[in-house]
């Protein structure tokens, strides 16, 4: 090896200065639970495979049976779908702890009831590929076709396409293929960090949310693994305690990997329940889905060099810029579909492109866009349920610090304005004073409804432009 030789691995990462994760509510650690749903997608000659499954079961050291069904192996996997899944489902739903499911598409298709239960619980369902097989020697074009078919089946069965991807038994090509697919907010075939990180991919930046093989119930059925639930609990607790302590200075994430056929067994499930309750006893632990983590990271931690909208996938662009127009991601989608040049990589250029897309919306879309905005110092602000952007903007104008007399004035004006026009008063308040806003309120109450509708849409474009300056500065 010479010093000028290019090495294809990143051995440095964040180094001694990892980013501050700034999890919600000042959490020290994000604890993320994954249920791997593989039962019915494993190797089986019934599925067109050459041999029976030999991985992650109670039969330690199992070998594939070429051309034959392995009935003991099959029934172990069946347990996960028939009994173990429902035990875990009760455990998490009773505690209102969200879960990410890594779901094999063919397994999903064989148990629609379980998928319905995942959706009813509000769990994230990420794709775990088409089949639970080893992709190590699968040609890249075949693996790409499998991934496309997995997304198709997943979307059909679950009712929405997956935004996360974890192949698991991956190949050299898996991460690249996930990035090329273009529809994933995150890929998870990495064990390289305690925090998400960005990779530069063939279609622009791709977020990686690393997973785990150590805080994982698979070690119940591997050599030098966990012999009992007590060992599993102790390892998870130690992992949590270490990260919780570190999180006072540098918050991290902790992934917990689960399988219905493994920890779903009664003698192991109680250890998992104890750990969940232990996590919930800490007031600075966040229990999100992986998609929650990905979205948080996308909105708080841009790729190196900042956002370049012209180089983003459609999915990532809409995720980051879909909220620039309040609760109206259709504007970002329409602008993206027209196409971007490098001009859109500036706040001014992107604002122009988004405003043009908004202007081409239907009358119904424009009306909905106006109605999507909150009243200034209204009930949503008082209830602290504004979007983060709206809350920050209203606070910048002092609308979160009104005297009783000022609040009464804003309330009366909001009511009068809505009674006259049928929609909220909209103004780009960033940099304005309370007096400026009240004066504009009074003046615009005298406008013709058509003029005021046009004024509201112009103010919405201004709000979007100011938000873009914050994102792309």
In this prediction, residue 385 carries a pLDDT of 62
What's 45's DSSP letter?
G
Using an 8 Å Cβ cutoff, are 264 and 79 in contact? Answer: yes
In this prediction, residue 407 carries a pLDDT of 86
Average pLDDT per run of 10 along the chain, which is 473 residues long? 78 95 97 98 94 88 93 95 98 98 98 98 98 94 97 98 97 97 97 97 96 94 87 97 97 98 96 98 98 98 96 97 96 97 95 97 96 78 67 82 86 92 93 90 93 96 95 91
In this prediction, residue 135 carries a pLDDT of 94
Helices (H), 190-313: 229-246, 266-280, 290-300
Spell 329-343 as b/e; 16+ CB within 10 A means b: ebbbebbbeeebeee
- Radius of gyration in angstroms for the set of CA atoms belonging to the chain, rounded to a whole number: 26
Residues recorded for the chain: 473
In this prediction, residue 225 carries a pLDDT of 86
Cα–Cα distance measured from residue 23 to residue 430, given in angstroms and rounded to the nearest whole number: 26
In this prediction, residue 406 carries a pLDDT of 86
Cα–Cα distance measured from residue 245 to residue 42, given in angstroms and rounded to the nearest whole number: 39
Catalytic: which of 128, 146, 154, 373?
373
- SS3 label, residue 335: helix
- Is 146 one of the catalytic residues? no
In this prediction, residue 265 carries a pLDDT of 96
- Written as six digits, the tokens of 353 are 């492109």
In this prediction, residue 382 carries a pLDDT of 52
123 closest CA partner among 228, 48, 34? 34
165 closest CA partner among 202, 204, 209, 123? 209
Cα–Cα distance measured from residue 387 to residue 372, given in angstroms and rounded to the nearest whole number: 11
In this prediction, residue 378 carries a pLDDT of 65
What predicted TM-score, i.e. pTM, was given to this entire model? 0.94
In this prediction, residue 5 carries a pLDDT of 77
């Amino acid at each position: 090896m010479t010093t000028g030789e290019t090495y294809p691995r990143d051995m440095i990462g964040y180094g001694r200065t990892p980013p501050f994760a700034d999890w919600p509510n000042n959490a020290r650690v994000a604890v993320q639970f994954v249920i791997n749903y593989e039962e019915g997608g494993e190797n089986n000659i019934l599925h067109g495979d050459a041999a029976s499954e030999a991985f992650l079961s109670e039969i330690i050291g199992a070998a594939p049976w070429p051309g034959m069904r392995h009935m003991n192996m099959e029934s172990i996997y069946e347990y996960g779908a028939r009994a173990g899944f429902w035990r875990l489902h009760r455990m998490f739903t009773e505690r209102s702890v969200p879960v990410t499911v890594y779901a094999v598409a063919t397994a999903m298709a064989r148990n629609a009831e379980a998928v319905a239960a995942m959706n009813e619980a509000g769990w994230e369902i990420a794709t775990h590929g088409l089949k639970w097989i080893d992709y190590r020697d699968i040609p890249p074009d075949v693996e790409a076709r499998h991934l496309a078919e997995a997304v198709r089946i997943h979307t059909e069965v679950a009712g929405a396409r997956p935004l996360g991807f974890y192949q698991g038994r991956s190949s050299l090509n898996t991460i690249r293929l996930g990035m090329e697919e273009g529809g994933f907010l995150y890929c998870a075939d990495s064990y390289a960090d305690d925090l998400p990180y960005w990779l530069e991919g063939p279609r622009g930046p791709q977020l990686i949310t690393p997973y785990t093989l150590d805080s994982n119930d698979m070690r119940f059925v591997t050599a030098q693994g966990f012999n009992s639930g007590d060992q599993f609990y102790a390892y998870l607790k130690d992992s949590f305690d270490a990260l919780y302590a570190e999180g006072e200075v540098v918050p991290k994430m902790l992934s917990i990997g689960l399988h219905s056929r493994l920890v779903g067994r009664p003698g192991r499930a109680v250890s998992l329940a104890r750990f969940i309750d232990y996590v919930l006893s800490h007031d600075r632990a966040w229990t999100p889905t992986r998609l929650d983590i990905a979205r948080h990271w996308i909105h708080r931690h841009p790729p190196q060099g900042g956002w370049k909208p012209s180089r983003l996938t459609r999915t990532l662009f809409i995720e980051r810029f879909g909220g620039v127009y309040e609760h109206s991601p259709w504007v970002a989608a329409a602008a993206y579909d027209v196409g971007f040049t490098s001009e859109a990589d500036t706040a001014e250029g992107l604002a122009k492109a988004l405003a043009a897309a908004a202007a081409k919306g239907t009358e119904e879309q424009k009306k909905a866009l106006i109605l999507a905005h909150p009243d200034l110092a209204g009930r949503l602000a008082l209830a602290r349920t504004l979007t983060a952007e709206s809350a920050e903007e209203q606070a910048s104008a002092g609308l979160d610090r009104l005297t009783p007399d000022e609040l009464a004035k804003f309330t009366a004006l909001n009511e009068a304005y809505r009674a006259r026009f049928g929609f909220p008063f909209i103004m780009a308040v960033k940099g304005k004073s309370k007096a400026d806003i009240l004066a504009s309120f009074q003046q615009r109450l005298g406008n013709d409804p058509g003029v005021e509708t046009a004024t509201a849409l112009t103010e919405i474009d201004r709000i979007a432009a100011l938000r873009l300056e914050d994102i792309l500065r």
